[in-house]
Amino acid sequence: MKKIVFLVAALVLSVTAMAQVQEAYPSYVQVEGYAEMEVDPDEFYLSIVINERDSKGKITVETQQRQMIEAFSQLGIDVEKQLKMSDMNSVFFKKNNTLTTASYELKLNTSKEVAAVYAALDGLGISDISIARVDNTEIERYKDQVRAEAMANAKKTAESLAGAVGQKIGKCFYIYDISGYRGVARYADSAMYMSANSEMKVAEPTLEFKKIRVEHTVQTKFVLE
């Protein structure tokens, strides 16, 4: 019962507040502003999984890890800073067979490094590799920029609408962030182009990544004068 009373009271206050705003600004224009930007990723996070099975001539996770780290060092990767172990576990099956799995996350800074790592791991027989995510070191600054552009676009639209009826806009008395946060970065799936069977021979393997889309939407109300 208390919850119902509280909700009713909140609703009444909300309606009252809206009525007061309507009374204070009887003539206004309501518009949405939208802006977007595409930026190149400069941080690439790879998920690497190494598996070991009990079988004749098995290669342990430790051996594969040592080979992997050596390969990374040869590529100029700072293993201590850029490679982290995510998980390691063992599952026991019948006949004392054991499956051991180790998961890692590797942070890289260029698509060229990503291509080189894929090639190196493929040479070691490690094929369980995927792009966990991509990012940009300046993404927060881009979010702020796009949010400001969305607001500027809302104002421009309001001015255009008001001008069409021979009026001007005054102050903005209402701003609602439709996105619910500072901006949204859509990390598109990576588009990768690497093929050992390709007829075209290139000096180095290459990878192509889609850009990161940053977008923002705001809802505004401006006084009509």
DSSP-assigned states of every residue in 24-50: H-SSEEEEEEEEEEEE---EEEEEEEE
Q: Choose between 57 and 64: higher pLDDT.
A: 64
The predicted structure's pLDDT at residue 211: 86
pTM of the model: 0.69
- Looking at residues 187-198, what average pLDDT do you find? 40
Average pLDDT, the chain: 78
Q: Which residues contact 73 (CB under 8 A, 6 or more apart)?
A: 79
Give the whole-angstrom CA distance, residue 184 versus residue 17. 30
- Looking at residues 210-216, what average pLDDT do you find? 88
CB 141 within 8 A of CB 152: no
Q: Percent of the chain beyond pLDDT 70?
A: 68
pLDDT-derived band at 150 (thresholds 50, 70, 90) equals very high
The predicted structure's pLDDT at residue 3: 52
CB 214 within 8 A of CB 39: yes
- Checking if the pLDDT of 220 tops 60, the result is yes
Domains of the chain: 30-40+138-224 (3.30.110.170), 43-135 (3.30.70.120)
DSSP 163: H
DSSP-assigned states of every residue in 85-103: EEEEEEEE-GGG-EEEEEE
Task: Name the nearest CA neighbour of 77 among 114, 119, 130.
Answer: 114
Q: Residue 143 has which token pair?
A: 């979010």
pLDDT-derived band at 210 (thresholds 50, 70, 90) equals confident
Give the whole-angstrom CA distance, residue 190 versus residue 80. 26
- Looking at residues 163-177, what average pLDDT do you find? 94
Where are the alpha helices (H) located in the chain, listed in sequence order?
A: 2-24, 61-74, 79-82, 111-123, 139-164
pLDDT-derived band at 22 (thresholds 50, 70, 90) equals low
Task: Name the nearest CA neighbour of 105 among 135, 139, 125.
Answer: 135
- Dump pLDDT digits (tens) for 77-123: 999 999 998 876 655 444 455 557 889 999 999 989 999 999 999 99
